[in-house]
Each structure stands twice: as structure tokens, then as C-alpha cells.
């Protein structure tokens, strides 16, 4: 697989909404927020196009405040949806036109993440799942969905690993800022 290139990547964040997020596995709550913080800073550093979806926002609310704050530096495009897969939406199709690599995080792993990832793979994109940025109501549901996407050709990264892969070198202008964020100082 070719090395990730920020110029041909797009970050998709699925359905991390205020009334939906608390229903996810409690062990995943802190890692989801941490992944959003790292990816928000990474997207800002590399000017990565970023799209945030909200599944039926009138029912599940807007993107959770902490997630919105974490992703704010990326200045994400927001899309409301009713479909489980984000891949077929006309607004997104145009945004993904030049993206080879799709960086995917969100909920729920076995529904929206699985269907979106599968559809993006079928459309010829390379899908990179952020393992610490994906959740479901149970660990088993997350594991099943991730295993299925792996079988279909998706690649897995942690948010931190992905940030440093895009950096490529400690001499990169964003290296110090991202290192401080990852190290917690």
C-alpha cells in the first residue's frame, strides 16, 4: 500500500452526536474524544478536507460539544443524513472526488461505519479506519465490523499513528505541535 499523502486524503467523522454518543461502550468514550482531538489538529496541520455527518440530527442531536471543539481547527463541512452509508450522498461525492485515501472514524461501527467503509472501498477509495476513533454499543459489535472491513481491504491506524505517518519526519513544521498534543503537554 502506498504511503498516506495528505494531499489526497479526506477525514470523515460519522455521527458522534450528543444523544447518540453516550449509548456507546463506556470504554470507548475517552479514546473517541482523544482521537478527535488528534485528528482535528492533524487535519488543521495538513489542511485535510474534513466532513462531519449527523444522522437524523432532530432525533440524535448535533455533534457532541467536546467532539465539535476537538474538530473545530479542521473547519469541517457538516452533512445531515438519514442513510446509514455516507458514501452515496451527492454533497460528499463531490468533496471526495480527488481523495484516494479516506480516514474514517465514528459510530456506530456495525452500521454506519461498516456501510460507509464498504461503499467507499467499492468506489475505489483506500479506507483507513481509526481504530481508537470507532465505537459501538458493545466491543463485540465493533470487533465484528472492523473484522469485516479488514477482510474487504480496509487499513487500520490509531489516530496518533496516522498523525505521525502523515508527518513523516520530526523536521515537519507541524511535528512539534502534534508531538506536544500526543504527549499531553
Tens digit of each residue's pLDDT, the chain (185 residues): 678 889 999 999 999 999 989 999 999 989 999 999 999 999 999 999 999 999 999 999 999 999 999 999 999 999 999 999 998 888 788 888 888 999 999 999 999 999 999 999 999 999 999 999 999 999 999 999 999 999 999 999 999 999 999 988 889 888 888 888 888 75
Q: Name the residue among 141, 116, 130, 113 with its Cα closest to residue 25.
A: 141
d(CA 170, CA 29): 30
Domain annotation covers residue 62: yes
List own/partner pairs for 120-123 with CB under 8 A and 24 or more apart. Answer: 120/87, 120/96, 121/149, 121/152, 121/153, 121/154, 123/87
Domain annotation covers residue 32: yes
Query: How many distinct structural domains can be found in the chain?
Result: 1
Domain that residue 27 falls in? 6-180
Q: Which three cell numbers stand for residue 132?
A: 481508537
Count Cα atoms within 13 angstroms, Cβ side, for 6. 18
Domain annotation covers residue 160: yes
Domain annotation covers residue 175: yes
Whole-structure pTM value: 0.94
Domain annotation covers residue 28: yes
Strands 9-14 and 126-134: unpaired
Domain annotation covers residue 1: no
Domain annotation covers residue 110: yes
Amino acid at each position: 500500500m502506498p504511503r498516506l499523502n495528505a494531499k489526497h486524503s479526506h477525514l470523515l467523522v460519522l455521527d458522534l452526536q450528543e444523544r447518540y454518543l453516550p449509548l456507546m461502550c463506556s470504554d470507548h468514550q475517552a479514546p473517541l474524544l482523544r482521537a478527535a482531538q488528534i485528528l482535528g489538529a492533524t487535519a488543521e496541520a495538513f489542511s485535510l478536507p474534513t466532513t462531519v455527518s449527523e444522522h437524523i440530527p432532530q432525533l440524535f442531536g448535533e455533534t457532541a460539544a467536546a467532539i465539535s471543539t476537538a474538530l473545530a481547527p479542521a473547519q469541517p463541512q457538516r452533512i445531515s443524513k438519514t442513510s446509514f452509508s455516507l458514501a452515496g450522498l451527492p454533497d460528499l461525492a463531490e468533496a471526495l472526488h480527488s481523495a484516494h485515501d479516506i480516514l474514517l472514524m465514528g459510530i456506530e461501527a456495525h452500521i454506519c461505519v461498516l456501510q460507509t467503509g464498504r461503499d467507499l472501498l467499492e468506489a475505489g477509495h483506500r479506507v483507513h479506519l481509526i481504530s481508537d476513533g470507532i465505537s459501538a454499543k458493545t466491543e463485540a459489535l465493533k470487533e465484528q465490523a472492523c473484522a469485516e472491513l479488514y477482510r474487504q481491504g480496509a487499513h487500520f491506524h490509531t489516530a496518533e499513528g496516522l498523525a505521525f505517518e502523515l508527518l513523516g519526519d520530526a523536521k515537519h513544521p507541524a511535528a512539534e505541535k502534534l508531538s506536544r498534543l500526543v504527549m499531553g503537554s
